[in-house]
A and B are shown apart, each in its own frame.
Chain A
Amino acid sequence: MLDVGRHPNIDLLAYSEIEKVEGEEGNFKVTVRRKARYVEEDKCTGCGACKEKCPTVVPDAFNEGMGERKAIYSWFAQGIPSTHTIDPNYCRQLQGKKCGVCAKTCQAGAVNFEQKDRVVELTVGAIIVAAGYDVFDPSRIPEYRYDKLANVVTAIEFERLLSASGPTGGHLDRPSDRAIEAEIEALEKKAGKSQKVIAKFEEQFGQASADFYSSFQKGEYKDDEERNKWAEKYKEHLEIVEPLEAMKKKAEGFTAAKRLAFIQCVGSRDFRFYPFCSGYCCMHSIKEAIIAHEHGPETTSTIFGMDIRAIGKGFEEYKIRGGNHSNITYVRGRVAEIQAGPDNNPVVIYEDTKERMVKSEEFDMVILATACAPTKGIYELADKLGIELDAYDFVKTSPLSPVDTSRPGIFVCGCAGAPMDVPESVAQASSAAERAAEIAFYGDARKEKAVA
């Protein structure tokens, strides 16, 4: 990323979208909308002082909504360009309220609430589509209860939980436990406030609330308006503190997730959704299981899949190593259902096809290896570019010219063309660059040459 950001020959137009493409290979006119960041790119140094002071807290999309960011933000810490952006949907100032804290904080004077979208026109010889993919939404599979069970997460969410820069600092805290901890925190704040109210009464009357309240319940002070208020406030306080204590006691028993289940082909190889194999998910699960084991050596993982497709260089060896050294058990079978179990533990119902038995097993967390879905914006983009999509809405190519789209001069690489893993994407990126270079550098000469 840094290399891209720093390369003198790369003009990086981030936070921008294609509006229109005209012309033909060798001479395309591309209209690009540069969306307003409300931050001047050439002034912003990326120091982040603005986001420290910004009062508006927003769910962090980079952490799959599991953490928090501010209304002025950078997508993630090492993002390129480091320029910050104001989210107009959340920013108080842009929503018409009074704020402007970021503008006051910014010593570079980069915040500009008046900034508008800019439309720029580029002339290019060739175009490469590298628009990537979306994660399949597993709530479409009701029997896996992704939206009902807190401890059923997607592989990408799990990736953020494993990451040292993620919402849990790399600790495998279960989402259900995190929700309770968040509730404890909120209740503690509330309890602190009500404690202050009660303390005032205690001072006023020189009596402990508990003693007063037991007398009050016996029928004393019924006509004293102030004491009635005290009793009411104390009752409210107890209603906060009692469940809080119970929750705290429960939270003492929280430990990192240790029994993990990985479910393969969630949305892939499934006629209801995507019949294709997403290619990379088997290795992704194995990698996550190995890293989880590195985090806690007592962690055990079970990977449920039809075939474990360890098809790349060193992959089969990695799979075997995971089994031998990282407590991974591979179970052949498709998971039928995930049910709610005790202590927020998901229960996996599956057929062990080797033993030909239907079984159920309780886990601390279940990770869904979701399908590589075509990215939502691809329809609109394909339309603007005038390129065809295949039956599943990936950019159409042919096996014998793997990065050429249906329109000359426009190429594709990575998961926009078909699901693939990192090395294949990197290799394809070079292939697309080669095809583009043939046109961009030698467009005229090319027409005279025999091109195979």
Chain B
Amino acid sequence: MPNKEENIRIGVFVCHCGSNIAGYLNMEELGAYAETLPHVAFVKRNLYTCSEGGINEIKKAIKEQNLNRVVVASCTPRTHEPLFRSSCAEAGLNPYLFEMVNIRDQCSWVHMQQRDDGTAKAKDLIRMGVAKSALLEPQQPIISDVTLRALVMGAGIAGMTSALALANRGYEVVLVEREERLGGMLNVINKLGPSMADAASFAEEKIKAVQSHKNITVFTKARVTEAQGFIGKYKVDIETESGVKKIDIGVIIVATGGRLLVPEGLYNYDGKKVITQLEAETLLKQGLDKGINNVVMIQCAGGRTKEKPYCSRICCQTAVKNAIMIKEQNPASKVSILYRDMQMYGVENEELFRDSRAKGIRYIKYDPEDPPQVKDGSVQVFHSLLGLKMDLAADLVVLSTPIVSQEGAEATSQLLRVPIDDNGFFLEGHVKLRPLDFATDGVFLAGSARFPANIREAVAQGLGAASRASIPLSKGSVVVEPIISILANEDACRGCGLCVALCPYGALEIRKTEKGRKVHVIDVACKGCGVCASTCYQHALSVNSFTDDQINAQINAFLE
């Protein structure tokens, strides 16, 4: 029920939207109908409520008619709610006392041939909006400070790139690396494809820049053991050799990388004559033994299987690169790559692929139903394009195994309350549109922790994650729409934690209070999706501007 002490005066503005609404609905009837609704003190029809003239009419009416609720029946809140809200605010009315009714997209546009029925539906919609608006309450935007310091987890190329980018922008960065040395995979890799730049010198250059940067604090042989808080205000514990450091952090970038699958039990893997591509990198760095004249590489070794269904993206290009390096070190050698599909996507990879053919590297397509057999000193394979069984001499067999999720990824996921996918990689906010964000605000993602990435992609993602993370840092505060969950009835909350488990944004936690275990809403993390309020069987939680009372009023109005 509306607050009895308050004299509710609702202004309803019905927009013609040129002919978009007026062409299909009876506007005169709608205007007259709105005047009959409870608490409605003023009704105005506009050609375009969003035009300067329309906006001025709203402002004028708020002042002259003493309106304390405004309803606009027009188009979609996606495009126009912010405008109408700010117009209310300019006239001195709390912007959250505004309600929008969509009589265009879901009414006039879809009922173009049904003028009477469409008009009747628009009346229902306006009646519902008016009923809800009477119960609206003023809200204040939530503003929370941001600690101007970033935590970057993992000092591979993605993490170092992120750290440098943020540090160059003037932000403090804490870079935490589990190993003794910075650089991650770069430390093992021989050359960087496709430019064949030396990985060690590139790593060295980056490591020096990171270590000498005055804005970057580096912790090696360290790990993050605790991360409490939310965007802008994390309290992080870092376990180092010299004890636990407690640091305040504003944003977090996860760049913990991946690791190569060690193919125990596959293709007679022994780490000597049958090795992984990463072990081949080490051999090539040292210089290949003179006796190695015949090399066979097997793609998708342990990858694209029932257990690991994904394609690991970068193993084909790694194989081609290493095959070229073998040819360079021993031009007389014979190198064969046994593959299912050569995943040399893009411009540079395909170019490398062509070069490798020109250098005499042989490609043999095998069928996963009939995989190659590794024997002592040879590999037997059925060449599925020639239809021939082949016996290839092999002094060295190199297995292209997939990159799998990093050790400890699951623990990190729990620590930061961010999800991982079926393959153990971190799951971004949206696989297409938000590749470097998590659904949880304030936590970002780059490199092979997300999905196998080559050097170009890891650098790009490192820069990109820094860019995403710098947004709250550069603003210095987070401003959140107050349409969020609230613990409306604390006594009803039994602290069961069902809502905490269901919240997709990590915005709820159970706290011990004098009244026992109660849920607490981290307001800046909440997106107002309403999952918690709709599942709370105690009706303890509610969402501002979508309270049970308000929604019930809308439903009751519909049923009138």
Contacts and interface: CB of A to CB of B under 8 A. Distances in A.
Contact of A275 (B195, B309, B351, B460): B351
B347 A433 contact: no
B432 A426 contact: yes
A307 B349 CA distance: 14
Nearest to A438: B168
A356 interface: yes
A336 interface: no
B313 A312 contact: yes
A275 B464 CA distance: 29
A269 B425 contact: no
Contacts of A316: 304, 309-311
Contact of B455 (A353, A399, A430, A435): A399
Contacts of B425: 313
Contacts of B351: 275-276
A275 B463 contact: no
B120 interface: no
B350 A47 contact: no
Contacts of A449: 168, 213
Contact of A427 (B51, B344, B346, B435): B435
B467 A47 contact: no
A401 interface: yes
Contacts of B468: 430
B346 A430 contact: no
Contact of A390 (B304, B345, B347, B474): B347
B227 interface: no
B361 interface: no
A450 B169 contact: no
Interface in A367-420: 390, 392, 394, 398-403, 418-420
Contacts of B193: 399
A313 B385 CA distance: 29
A308 interface: yes
A438 B169 contact: yes
Contacts of A311: 311, 313, 343, 345
A310 interface: yes
A236 B169 CA distance: 79
Interface size class of A (residues with CB under 8 A): 35 or more
Contacts of A279: 345-346
A81 to B, nearest CB: 11
- The CB with the most chain B CB atoms within 10 A, among A107, A423, A429, is that of A423
B459 A402 contact: yes
- The CB with the most chain A CB atoms within 10 A, among B78, B165, B421, is that of B165
Contacts of A435: 463
A320 interface: yes
A312 B432 CA distance: 11
Contacts of B348: 399, 418
Nearest to A277: B350
A431 B213 contact: no
Interface stretch (B13-21, B60-68, B329-337, B515-523): B13-21
Contact of B431 (A269, A313, A441): A313
Interface stretch (B36-44, B202-210, B231-239, B495-503): B202-210
A403 B384 CA distance: 40
A403 B434 contact: no
A398 B349 CA distance: 13
B460 A427 contact: yes
Contacts of B326: none
B18 A107 contact: yes
Contacts of A314: 310, 421, 431
A390 B194 CA distance: 15
B20 A47 contact: yes
A141 interface: no
A173 B164 CA distance: 54
Nearest to A445: B170
Contact of B169 (A309, A429, A437): A437
Interface of A: 2, 6, 45, 47-49, 52, 107-108, 269, 275-277, 279, 307-317, 320, 332, 353-354, 356, 390, 392, 394, 398-403, 418-420, 422-424, 426-431, 433-435, 437-438, 441-442, 445-446, 449-452
Interface of B: 17-20, 47-48, 50-51, 78-79, 82, 164-165, 168-170, 192-195, 197, 202, 205-206, 209-210, 212-213, 304, 309-311, 313, 341-351, 354, 365, 384-385, 387, 421, 425, 431-436, 450-451, 454-457, 459-468, 470, 474
Given A426-B432, A438-B168, 20 more contacts: A2-B79, A47-B19, A107-B18, A107-B47, A276-B346, A277-B345, A316-B310, A354-B385, A390-B347, A399-B455, A418-B347, A422-B432, A426-B433, A427-B461, A441-B169, A449-B168, A449-B213, A450-B209, A450-B212, A452-B210
**A-B pairs with lowest CB-CB distance, top 7:** A47-B18, A430-B464, A452-B209, A434-B467, A431-B463, A307-B341, A276-B347
